[in-house]
Amino acid sequence: MALDLTGLPDVSFTDTDTAKVESAIITLYEGITKSVLFPADPVRLFLSTLANIIAQQNILIDYTGKQNLLRYARGAFLDHLGALLGVERLEAKPASTVMRFILEAPLPFQLIIPAGTRVTADGVTYFATSGTLIIHAGTVCGDVEAACQRAGKEWNGIQCGQINRIVDPRPYVKSVENLDVTSGGADVEDDESLRLRINLKPESFSVAGPELAYVYWTLSAHPDILDASVTSPAPGVVNVFVLLRGGRIPEIDGSEIEAVENILIGNNKVRPFTDFVTIYPADAHEIDYTITWFISTSQSNRILEIENGIKAAVAEYEEWQTERIGRDIIPDKLISLCQGAGAKRVELNGLEFTQLDNSTITKFTENPQRIVFGGMENL
């Protein structure tokens, strides 16, 4: 099992408390000079200024020291820790789709549309064809993959038919349109995901196919993959379940599943030779629930503040509940968050403790009436 970094004790390389640093300097000075420094003493004011500078230096020293530890490292410091184990931050990936080029009429010869032909939906962001498209004689259209020329998840979700403007006109081509909703785009891997993969990296050193080795390689396949779960229903059989960021379930033929297959199935240096590996999207356990919250009469002047806190608590709970495969449904956490936001009590309808297997995630259905104010009650 990978080491739980949150269970490690907190460490400090220097004392960063300005008051303690100031007290130590003044006490040392008074001890050496056999004198007492009163609050308005110019020497005391000078030493207080000096203590503030030293405390700031201590903060920088403490920060620098912690950047050498996996639990605290961030940004480029974390990249360097990953380099020690051969783990690189995953680069951003562009969104992609399938474009259909439509001719004015069938032609008596083949029409070649070269790779790199650009199309757009808004005149700002361009998609370029990934390969050469050949539209054969007698046909009026042809399909080809195209990828966004800007990497990132921002350009996911462009609906079918919206990419319909040709930037690089081709003879005989009347129109163009995307057949699929754009998908597969992902931002550069964030620090927490990279930290987890660095922590898991030693698991990949074994060639015996341990569970966490499969998890590590799955998380390394695509920056949009948030979690993975591995089961073995029979000797030599390995099933890997994949979950995307935001609790999204990947398409079975999507780019994320394909990326995992390329590593776990297409790479014999990673997959044990005798393992039969299959990649699946995580299963969804759908839930529709409502939460009714109450406050005491003494809290009536804070009702708007509490209402906003309840909405934030529900959002935090749903994000937590859906970000891991196999995480049991725990209503008590939602109740605790809502009480922390100021609710006297809450009533849940449709949400109860449920154990999930290692292939399943919780998925909440859309419900605009999910949060209901139940009223005020006596203490």
What is the C-alpha to C-alpha distance for residues 214 and 313, in angstroms, rounded to an integer? 34
What is the C-alpha to C-alpha distance for residues 307 and 193, in angstroms, rounded to an integer? 32
What are 129-155's pLDDT values in tens digits? 999 999 999 999 999 999 999 999 999
Placement of tokens 């004689």 in the chain: 137
Residue 342: what pLDDT?
94
| Class of domain 191-281 as given by CATH | alpha beta
- Inter-helix orientation angle 191-200/211-219, to 10°: 150
Cβ contact 137:110 at 8 Å: yes
Contacts of 146 (CB under 8 A, 6+ apart): 96, 97, 98, 99, 119, 127, 128, 129, 130, 163, 178
- Name the residue type at position 14: T
Torsion angle of the four alpha carbons 151, 153, 159, 165, in this order, in degrees rounded to the nearest 10: -20
What are 209-257's pLDDT values in tens digits? 788 889 999 999 999 999 999 999 998 899 999 999 888 999 998 889 9
Six token digits for residue 82: 């990953």
Residues (pLDDT < 50) of the chain are 1
* Domain coordinates in residue numbering, the chain: 5-72, 94-178, 191-281, 286-377
Residue 208: what pLDDT?
58
Residue 269: what pLDDT?
78
Cβ contact 285:326 at 8 Å: no
Neighbours of 14 (CB within 10 A): 17
